[in-house]
Structures are given as structure tokens and as C-alpha cells.
Amino acid sequence: MRDNMERFLRYSLEKKKKIKVIFCKENIMRAENIQVCAIEGTTLSYISARQKKPKKILLEEILCAGYARGDHGEGGDNCNGGENQKTF
């Protein structure tokens, strides 16, 4: 797993926050807001913001991950609460 992507997956798992992921499954790219439930070896269990049903995906199918809209990671590991954070 790439370090940056792993950071966001663990953030979602530990803080119970939604993140945005882009993945490619069966040659179809999709973007979804998810909350990670578990990381088990090469498989990720998550709840989709759309369908609210537990699903599984292979970690290799996830292309990238980042904060969901409106979340900038404030109050977590960020010491200044995001007050100096720039948003583009």
C-alpha cells in the first residue's frame, strides 16, 4: 500500500470519518465517499455513503484516497486545528 493512501485509509478507520477514494473495479473507474470498517490483509471492508451497506474491495483496486468534501483533518493529529491550513 502506498504511504499516503494508507494514511487516509487508517484515518478513516481510526477516526470513523468518511474519505473519498477512487478505485477501478472490473475496468470501471469510480469515486465514492466511504468509511473504512477494517483492513484485513489485502482486503478493505467499508461502508459506502450512498448505499450504507458493508462492502469489500481489494486494496490493489484503490487508486487514490483523500479527505471527503468538507473534511480537512482538523482536530485529529493536526496540532493547530487547521487554522493555518490552506484550501485550494
pLDDT digits (tens, 9 = 90+) for 15-69: 999 999 999 999 999 999 999 999 999 999 999 988 888 999 999 999 999 988 8
For residue 84, tell me if it sits in a domain.
no
Q: Which domain holds residue 33?
A: 3-67
pLDDT recorded at residue 3: 81
How many Å apart are CA 75 and CA 27, to the nearest integer?
A: 37
Domain count, the chain: 1
Taking the complete model, does pTM exceed 0.85, yes or no? no
Is residue 79 exposed (0-12), middle (13-18) or buried (19+ Cβ within 10 Å)? exposed
For residue 82, tell me if it sits in a domain.
no
For residue 85, tell me if it sits in a domain.
no
Q: Is 61 helix (H, G, I), strand (E, B) or coil?
A: helix
For residue 50, tell me if it sits in a domain.
yes
- What DSSP string runs through 3-48? HHHHHHHHHHHHHT--EEEEEEETTEEEEEEEEEEEEETTEEEEEE
